[in-house]
């Protein structure tokens, strides 16, 4: 049995016309010989009646009294509604269908309510329905504990549900349908000549997702990578195949021509840089700094530590608390607020000399100071001021010929 998993986000289910496109995609894959599993998010976005953020807002006035287990019961309602509606419409289109909650689909999680982790999937009920020729519609974003309590998987949970089910069912491919036609080389709102990317590696898409290209959740990609299941990011409103995410082996094919080492440019805003140094009374002690921040749940990035100082970044909303904690240790701390992280991403640049030189040259020509930098196997990050971020994106996009 050839299985395909199709995940449809909230905008794909928000109107009657959008739902007609969903039905078309399901019917096309059935006609292509696939057994189809459909994973759905809640309908719409913030402000729409059953969107997850809208449901959360109902509890906001009573935040001090919220029980997280009960909150997950509420948040699961959005997917229950969308799954029931789309399941009914599938049957109305002449295709047999069954709707399953995350619990009924066999998605077992831990009891970290609001951000539960999948620990096992028992797909027997799904397999039985597929063998009977039914389209199986599963509520994304949710599962159940061993004790039977409803849980939700946190942000990007429906993407995670889709790839986890794909892995458990040994699906041929997982299609993530959204309102854009795949992954672009940059944010088209800021870079007018951004173009679609036909193919990326798991590592590249994870970097892009973490750094602002919000087309698929990195946790979902990591699950697909472990199971070696290809993922496509596609538009609900198009027949185009979008962006294919698969193993990096294609990049290292000896017959391939890697004339482009950079795949895309991403960014993140709202970052504050902290420069911490010692005083005559209190020498610089990185251990005290980072242990204190960790104990208060503050995540750090762009970390540079020397004998005399520590330089790192935090999210802007955590900057005041971080400053207070460090000052309480008797250390000097200087803040640089309103910074942006610009990411140059590409598996093909690993081991290629000159990439950083081109980044520095391009930004220097636009008189954009680099406040800090870091790198990994598939990305180079630079920290700039927010006021320079848009220009940094444009000039780096052009420098690496991503508009061609």
178 is in an annotated binding site: yes
Q: Is 9 annotated as a binding residue?
A: yes
Q: Does the annotation place 160 within a ligand binding site?
A: no
- Please tell me whether 215 is known to bind a ligand: yes
State yes or no: 179 annotated in a binding site.
yes
**79 is known to lie in a ligand binding site:** yes
Residue 217 in contact with residue 232, Cβ under 8 Å?
no
Per the annotation, binding residues for substrate are 52, 79
Binding residue numbers for ATP: 7-10, 178-179, 214-215
Binding region: 7-10, 52, 79, 178-179, 214-215
């Amino acid at each position: 049995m050839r299985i395909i998993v199709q995940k449809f986000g909230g905008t794909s289910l928000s109107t009657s016309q959008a739902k007609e496109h969903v039905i078309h995609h399901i019917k096309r894959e059935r006609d292509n010989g696939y057994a189809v599993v459909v994973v759905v998010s809640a309908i719409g976005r913030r402000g729409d009646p059953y969107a997850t953020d809208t449901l959360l807002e109902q509890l906001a006035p009573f935040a001090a009294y919220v029980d997280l287990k009960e909150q997950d019961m509420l948040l699961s309602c959005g997917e229950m509604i969308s799954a029931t509606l789309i399941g009914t419409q599938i049957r109305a289109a002449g295709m047999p269908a069954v709707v399953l909650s995350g619990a009924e689909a066999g998605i077992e999680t831990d009891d970290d309510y609001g951000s539960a982790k999948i620990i096992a999937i028992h797909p027997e009920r799904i397999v039985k329905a597929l063998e009977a020729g039914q389209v199986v519609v599963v509520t994304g974003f949710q599962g159940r504990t061993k004790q039977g309590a409803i849980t939700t998987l946190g942000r990007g949970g429906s993407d995670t549900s889709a790839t986890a089910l794909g892995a458990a069912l040994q699906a041929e491919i997982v299609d993530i349908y959204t309102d854009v036609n795949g992954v672009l080389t940059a944010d088209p709102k800021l870079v007018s000549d951004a173009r679609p990317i036909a193919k990326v590696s798991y590592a590249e898409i994870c970097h892009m997702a973490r750094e602002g290209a919000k087309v698929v959740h990195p946790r979902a990609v990591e699950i697909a990578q472990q199971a070696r299941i290809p993922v496509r990011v596609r538009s609900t409103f198009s027949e185009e195949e979008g962006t294919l995410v698969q193993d990096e082996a294609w990049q290292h094919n000896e017959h391939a021509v890697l004339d482009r080492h950079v795949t895309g440019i991403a960014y993140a805003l709202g970052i504050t840089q902290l420069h911490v140094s010692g005083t005559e009374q209190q020498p610089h002690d990185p251990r005290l700094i980072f242990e204190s921040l960790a104990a208060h749940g503050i995540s750090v990035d762009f970390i540079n530590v020397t004998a005399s100082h520590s330089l790192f970044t935090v999210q802007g909303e955590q900057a005041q608390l971080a400053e207070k904690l460090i000052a309480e240790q008797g250390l000097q701390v200087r803040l640089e607020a309103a910074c942006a992280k610009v990411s140059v991403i590409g598996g093909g640049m690993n081991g290629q000399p000159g990439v950083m030189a081109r980044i520095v040259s391009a930004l220097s020509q636009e008189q954009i100071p680099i406040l800090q930098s870091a790198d990994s196997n598939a990305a180079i990050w630079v920290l700039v001021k927010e006021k320079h971020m848009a220009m940094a994106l444009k000039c780096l996009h052009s420098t690496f010929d991503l508009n061609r």
